[in-house]
Structure 1
């Protein structure tokens, strides 16, 4: 059986060989990082090394890195923890294209009596900075805006958002799950107070993530137990997964200067070839300010789901976020950017990775073009 060409790196990534090696080595390290004996000290050394590696990737201090079980947990900790730590403030702001891991905690706060403002986005998926500024109130505690969108790849002007937030004494949380390893993410240049990291989006295993929390930022735990992770994430650390995340962060930092232009080249080549073979293709997302690996396009006259089903044995891709790609509902992100029902129905997300080859791009473009033609002649 032929292995399908994998074009779904925004859903998850394969574990890097170097990360697998670290996992294998750590399987023998069974000590509890909180124990004071030799086994515990060795385990703690692995955890602290990983903390330093993740911190270096985003130019943070190691003490500002909190290990979690996934990006969803990081988002919940940031949004619920920072909001509930605020004093005499009961208003939060987010955008219409956030991942459910951000939107659902915001809606939970709304159920608890908070006011929630959901900002619209333009046709490219960008929020309007003036609209944001106009919605900030004296009781606004938190703004939570994603760094880049998981479906269309649009990158928000986070540093500008941070300046607005800081001038109004409002905290800023950013979900950077899709950005790490693809573009530079520097928490100091961005000016964020908290930032979410997802291991499996940059060649670490699933089940491990991190949350950057700027020193001095008020935040309450959302789970309770012993004092692990600055008393913000109780429970004995998963040493193997944490060490794997650290190695993936080290690799991401080392590879980024070459990876970003390489991914962009592959993405643009794929778009160019598809445009040459299929008239009327529409690019969804910002034409410039988007992830270098992400291509969300609408195929005219066909359903994106039908197109991928036709090419299922040859290409692995998705019609949107993997977290809710099995339903038939139109993508909320595409609805938010004003896409028509037909355009949204015909959308497909193609996302490349560092293992993608030029030959795979050529093959994939031909397969998708042939599938589109076959459906249109039926």
Structure 2
């Protein structure tokens, strides 16, 4: 009964959910949908409630937004939070300055044009994280672009002047899975969640998940025809990510590509994933409203001004920060030891 009340109060607390009545709640109960999680993950919810797809998806999104606000409030009053080092001094200084150091449960987004170095930065973060953290904490690298390079990772670790035993140990702590579709990505994260909840498997020490990149999984859902399927995917993905982050203390850094007009499809039925020109927080909603509230920090990796891609200098900018200062940047450089 308590679960029923929680779901009912969550629905009626949303602007769109206020349209529902006690009758709709009873319809949900008849389908054994009794918790917020079951409601968000339910398929064909619009048929159960005799509502439009847009209305049911909007209620799901508003419920997730409500959950985020509660999570943020709890995190503010959490005593002595654990901070992780990224292993990149300039980046750690920037994160401290904007009031959002890397911690358990953080969900960040890293955006930038193709070939700017996002994958290289994620490789560097994976290597640096396992080197800096104690207790054999692990990284999960989700490769959606088939770009993961174990040899490059080995090179980055060797540049740290480590011995063979240490390198082998750190490489063992970086788990890699390939997920070239939305379905594969969801399945992989659900499998991890299931193993963590049942205390089975060897993934209990995973504390950082790097996804490279979500754009590759979502790009097939850009058309108007597939839009509702895309919203459903993002809603379900959001729920899984938040459970892993909040309940299991896993930090996420999710890569996403940006595109110029020359890279966009000219099909009128497709929505552009991004905009050209100066980057600003309002423009960073390429995956729609269903993604806008997921990440508390959006960082943009860009080439140094007036430089070609062969130049090693990069600038990392803060585009959105819901936990502190929303402006800031730091300079990074592409080297044999990764991006530092």
Q: TM-score, normalized by length of structure 1? A: 0.29
